[in-house]
Structure formats: structure tokens, C-alpha cells
Amino acid sequence: MGLTLGYLAFIVILPLSALVLKAAAMGPAAFAAAATSPRVMASYSLSLKTAVLAALVNGVFGFVVAWVLVRYPFPGKKVVDALVDLPLALPTAVAGIVLTTLYAPGGWAGKALLALGVHVAFAPAGIVVALVFVGIPFVVRSVQPVLENLEADVEEAAASLGADRLQIFLRVVLPSLLPAWLTGLALAFARGLGEYGSVVFIAGNLPMKTEIAPLLIMTKLDQYDYEGATAIAVVLLAVAVTFLLFINGLQRLSSRRGAAV
């Protein structure tokens, strides 16, 4: 117990409180100025928009992937199942350079998309692509176990009561998956908001246009602007903590629902 708390304090609590105290020492005016300058605001807005968009893409496709993996037999299923975990294990820098190479104007995918007039690399769309990649496991792995534990007899009961397939899906399956799905979305979003490695290569990093908030922290650090970096970091930390609490709440809700059945 003591060991646990000591280690936790040393590795997590002490460093994070250093951050908060540093911000507090700046004074409210300096903090507000550093945390809300136009360039910083633009980076928040970009991070937020791309993270939401990527989470939604994963919300839709991740759900389909989880559904297919649980419900249908098909050749190569084990490989697909394993590949879903890969974005968690693959170093983000590797993801970053390979996605950039693929989607750059000269790359395989980039060429095809450019022909359609879509710029991906060095544009906000590229950031979304990178965030979709890193976020894939979250929705799938949140929904999958709940879907597996969903008893067949509940659906059979609904069918015996005269519900058709769509009604069963909308009224029985979806409501019980909702907390898990939202958890997955929130996790993917939180990851997207803080993601750095896979994005820096593909984003192009133009101030006010394609500069995400974590990158701006990095830039400020390179200029030895510790206060500026700290201010942005505190804002990101606050959002992260809020989301963590939200996710924990959701998981408690979903486990309570699971227990009540």
C-alpha cells in the first residue's frame, strides 16, 4: 500500500502538480495571455475539430468492425482482430512518417486523392487521417466485449414478441451498447486531442492553419518559453482530466447496467 502510493506520487502526482504550480506562479493575467493568444486559440480549435471528426469516423467504422468480429464468421477474421490492436503497439512516429508518405502529393493514396481535388497531407484532413489511425482500437475494444456478453436470448425474446430485425437492433441491442460505445468515442477523442507523434509529420505545422496544440507546446519549449508551454499544457491537462472522469462515469454506468440484467 505504502509502496503503491509512494510510486504513484513520484511518477504521477509530483510531476503533474509541478505543472499546475508552475502555471499558478505565472499569475492569472500572464496565464490568460499565454493560454488564449490567437495562435494558441487556433491550435485548440484545430485539435478539437480534428479529434471530434476522427472520433466520429471511428465511432461508425469501429462499431461495424466490432459487430462483424463478434457476429459473423469470415476468413481472415483472426488477422483482422489482431490488426485492430496494432495502432496501440505501433510507435506513433512510424505511423506518422508512413501516413505522410502515403498521403503526400507524390504518395500512392495522395496521388489518387489529389486527382479528386482533395488535399490530405499538410492539411487538416491529414491530421484527421492520423487520428483515425491511432483511435481505431478504442471503439472496437470498448464495444466488442459488451456485444459478446449480450445474451442471444434477449434478442430471441424480442423476436418472439414480434420485433423485426431493425427494431431489435434499435430497441434492444443499441441501448445496451450505448455506454460502451460512448466510452470508446470518448477514449478515441481524448487520445486524439493529445496525440503528437503521428500528427507532426503529416500536418505541415503551419501556424494558425495546421498547428495542433501539443505541437505548439513543443515549439514553445524549443524557444525556451516554458511559461507559454505550461499554460497550454494546463489547459490540455484539464480537458484530459474532465474526460477521464466522464469515461470512468460511463464505465461505471455500463457495468451497473451489465449487472442489472
User: 54-93: which residues touch another protein (CB under 8 A)?
Assistant: 61, 64-65, 67-74, 76-78, 80-93
CB of 208 to another protein, least distance (A): 19
The CA-based angle 186-181-86, given to 5 degrees, is 75
* Span near another protein by CB under 8 A; candidates 31-39, 113-121, 210-218: 210-218
Provide φ and ψ at 116, rounded to 5°. -85, 0
Q: Tell me how far apart the alpha carbons of residues 51 and 58 are, in angstroms, rounded to a whole number.
A: 10
CA-based nearest residue to 203, from 189, 218, 188: 218
Residue 190 in contact with another protein, rule: CB under 8 A: yes
Does 165 bind another protein (CB under 8 A)? Our answer is yes
Q: Which is nearer to another protein, 123 or 232 (CB)?
A: 232
Rounded to the nearest whole angstrom, what is the least distance from the CB of residue 209 to another protein in the complex?
A: 19
* Residue 150 grid coordinates: 449480450
Question: Applying CB under 8 A, does 117 fall inside the site for another protein?
Answer: no
CB of 150 to another protein, least distance (A): 11
* Shortest CB 77 distance to another protein, Å: 7
Q: How far is the CB of 176 from another protein (least distance, A)?
A: 16
* 216 within 8 A of 204, measured Cβ to Cβ: no
Q: Say whether residue 223 binds another protein (CB under 8 A).
A: no
**3-class SS shares of the chain: helix, strand, coil, % to 5:** 85, 0, 15
For residue 164, give the 3-state DSSP assignment: coil
Q: Does 233 bind another protein (CB under 8 A)?
A: yes
